[in-house]
Amino acid sequence: MGRVSWILSLLSVTSCVSAVAWIGEVKEVDGVTYQCKCYSDNACWPKNAEWDALNTTVGGALQVAVPPGAPCHKQLGNSSISVYNEAACSNVQANWVNEQWLTDHPIANLWPLYTNNTCLPTDNPSAPCTRGFYGTYVILATTKAHIKAGIDFAREHNLRLIIRNTGHDFMGRSTGYGSLIINTHTFKDVTFTKKYDGPGNWTGGAAVVGAGVQGRELFRKCFAQSPPVVIVGGECPTVGWAGGYILGGGHGPLTTIYGMGADNVLSFDVVTASGEYVTANAKENPDLFWALKGGGPVFATVVSITAKTFPEVPTAGTRLNINSTLTNDSAVFNEGFRIFHNLANHYVENGMFVYFELSLGTLHIQPFVGPRMDEAKIKEVLKPLFDQLNAANIPYDAYTRAFPTFFELYIDMFEDEQPNQNSVVGGRIFTHQDIEENGDGVAKALLFASQPTNDTFGFSVGHIVDPGHGVPVADNAIHPTWRNASSFVITNVIMTGTESWEVKMERENVQTNVVGKALREAGPNGATYVNEGDLNEPNWQESYWGSKYPRLLEIRKKWDPTGLFYAKTTPGTEDWDVIDYGTKLCKKAS
């Protein structure tokens, strides 16, 4: 018996005799008939010998998917296999809020709500640990042939497939119950050219970036070039740049002057749902190229992306705080936030990006980013803000500094986020028109999101950004509303992660129908963002993609007609649901 088969037998997930069909079981829920993916309690589940054969094909890169908290527990699920390791448990506990450690783990998700929080670090080894919504197996891919082998195996056996790069994911797309996971995190190669000569009309610098490269390491590699260059990336240092970030559009500190990340893509190398190696650019497979630029993570699996680079730019930054150390007067605080946010159009019209965090009584802005600005210029641009705050007697603290390059500002002023927090996520893109016509209403809705009901609290992450300032028109799948954006805010209804399923559903309802309703009413001209939004967003096709959706749906049906790639609220998933309390992925029977 092979090693994978031996572990599998100990975990008691061999094929079950109560079979239904090769394609998975048929289930009926609330009068709807579903045809499900194949899971370990179905006879269609691959036999141990088939898993062993896959392991041989991928050169031993197939592993049993073990949750990151498992070393702190005596056993995983009902198996007899021991997973407890005192030293490993100590390492898990020490790194539980270390984003880099979590992204380097084979399967960890930085937003644990979508793992079901059923195997957490503990000082009690007897505490139960199950996989929750994590997958069953993971391929630690190091070659594109490994990716192809996993895709082919999942397609041929009708398995749920998860593509996992970093697990930096607010919407549960890096996790799927009973799935086969393909981990692309090791694809770290980056190569640069000073003069791109491929398809399209770009002749400037470019970089070919592997699927596993993360934001900060990409910025470092860009800065190490001679002369230094920049690339459009996110503010978070651990986000997988060439994964979901680009596929969903990708905003960041340089977006107001250079557009979205996907606006700057020149070519993709991918593996399709049929297991083909495909290049997609302006000349080859242009329909797929268009869809991959902002259409979501369901068209193909990325191996590498080629994107534009730009010369480094002097950049200035300002930090500003209004919080309880300065005032406990809610009316004063609310007025300070209103003044700040109502100037969103002004900031982006001057090419700025602003990152802020908002909770009850606390506004933390770090930083205002002023590309192509020195200290005098950013103070000039921010003078209306400080004049209004001073005139209204709003107490604040502020700090400004200029840097020779954007990279130096990024390293100095941006802060790492803390992972393994639990919340239900939503959000809204507010346009120039929304801010101009109803700025006070937008500010009121965002303040409301900090405590939407008597027993719920919220935390919001804001990005004042306008890709249309630098790139007014772009031929890609990104929602047209982004070209008129002024502020994009992610809202969170905070949870502990230990709530019952019923309470979780109630919190989702608060996010969608209380917080989300307030945001939609305050910003009627806005939209939502593919990578950071509400999984239950009403009319999500229009809200996430607008007029681009019909074309996206057509392309999805062409490149993945059977629905191998799945993520909720993405093109072509209308007939799919995850049923049985967040477990089985099933399609409505036609």
pLDDT digits (tens, 9 = 90+) for 168-177: 999 999 999 9
Confirm if 327 and 338 have CB atoms less than 8 A apart.
Answer: no
DSSP string, 330-348: HHHHHHHHHHHHHTHHHHH
pLDDT-derived band at 24 (thresholds 50, 70, 90) equals: confident
Domain boundary among the residues 288, 311, 334 is at 311
Give the separation between CA 423 and CA 111, rounded to whole angstroms.
8
In-domain check, residue 195: yes
Residue pLDDT, tens place only, 294-347: 999 999 999 999 999 999 999 999 999 999 999 999 999 999 999 999 999 999
Considering only CA atoms, which of 423, 430, 422 is closest in space to residue 446? 430
> For the residues 56-79, what does the mean pLDDT come to?
95
Clarify whether residues 319 and 414 are in a common domain. Answer: yes
In-domain check, residue 10: yes
Give the separation between CA 242 and CA 584, rounded to whole angstroms.
28
Q: What is the pLDDT of residue 81?
A: 75
What predicted TM-score, i.e. pTM, was given to this entire model? 0.95
Clarify whether residues 394 and 276 are in a common domain. Answer: no
Residue pLDDT, tens place only, 435-465: 999 999 999 999 999 999 999 999 999 999 9
Give the separation between CA 147 and CA 181, rounded to whole angstroms.
10
In-domain check, residue 586: no
Q: Can you name the residues that pair with 463 across neighbouring β-strands?
A: 355, 488
Clarify whether residues 157 and 15 are in a common domain. Answer: yes
Structure tokens belonging to residue 177 = 């119950």
Give the separation between CA 367 and CA 289, rounded to whole angstroms.
34
CATH of the domain at 494: 3.40.462.20
Clarify whether residues 29 and 61 are in a common domain. Answer: yes
**Is residue 9 pLDDT above 80, yes or no?**
no
Clarify whether residues 290 and 174 are in a common domain. Answer: no
Clarify whether residues 295 and 373 are in a common domain. Answer: no
Specify the DSSP element, H or E, that contains 422. strand 422-431
Residue type, 521: E
Confirm if 186 and 212 have CB atoms less than 8 A apart.
Answer: yes
Q: What angle do CA 322, 326, 327 make, to 5 degrees?
A: 90
Residue type, 486: S
CATH of the domain at 278: 3.30.465.10
Cis, bond preceding 314 (omega within 30 deg of 0):
no
Phi, psi (deg, nearest 5) at residue 549? -65, -45
Clarify whether residues 260 and 362 are in a common domain. Answer: no
In-domain check, residue 583: no
Q: Can you name the residues that pair with 316 across neighbouring β-strands?
A: 370, 402
Confirm if 342 and 440 have CB atoms less than 8 A apart.
Answer: yes
Clarify whether residues 111 and 48 are in a common domain. Answer: yes
In-domain check, residue 582: no
**Is residue 11 pLDDT above 70, yes or no?**
no
DSSP 432: H
Residue pLDDT, tens place only, 93-123: 999 999 999 999 999 999 999 999 999 999 9
**Is residue 2 pLDDT above 80, yes or no?**
no
Q: What is the pLDDT of residue 444?
A: 98
Considering only CA atoms, which of 233, 139, 147 is closest in space to residue 190? 233
Domain boundary among the residues 311, 326, 360 is at 311
Clarify whether residues 156 and 227 are in a common domain. Answer: no
DSSP β-ladder status, 584-588 and 397-403: unpaired
Clarify whether residues 521 and 447 are in a common domain. Answer: yes
Domain boundary among the residues 311, 327, 352 is at 311
Clarify whether residues 217 and 162 are in a common domain. Answer: no
Q: What is the pLDDT of residue 19?
A: 34
Give the separation between CA 385 and CA 376, rounded to whole angstroms.
15
**Is residue 7 pLDDT above 90, yes or no?**
no
DSSP 514: I
> For the residues 8-22, what does the mean pLDDT come to?
36
Lowest pLDDT segment from 5-19, 135-149, 554-568? 5-19
**Residue 249: which domain range?**
190-311
CA atoms within 13 A on the CB side of 414: 23
CA atoms within 13 A on the CB side of 435: 25
Cis, bond preceding 367 (omega within 30 deg of 0):
yes
Domain total of the chain: 3
Residue 388: exposure state from Cβ atoms within 10 A (0-12, 13-18, ≥19): middle
In-domain check, residue 549: no
Clarify whether residues 492 and 467 are in a common domain. Answer: yes
In-domain check, residue 580: no
Residue pLDDT, tens place only, 187-224: 999 999 999 999 999 999 999 999 999 999 999 999 99
DSSP β-ladder status, 180-183 and 161-164: parallel
In-domain check, residue 585: no
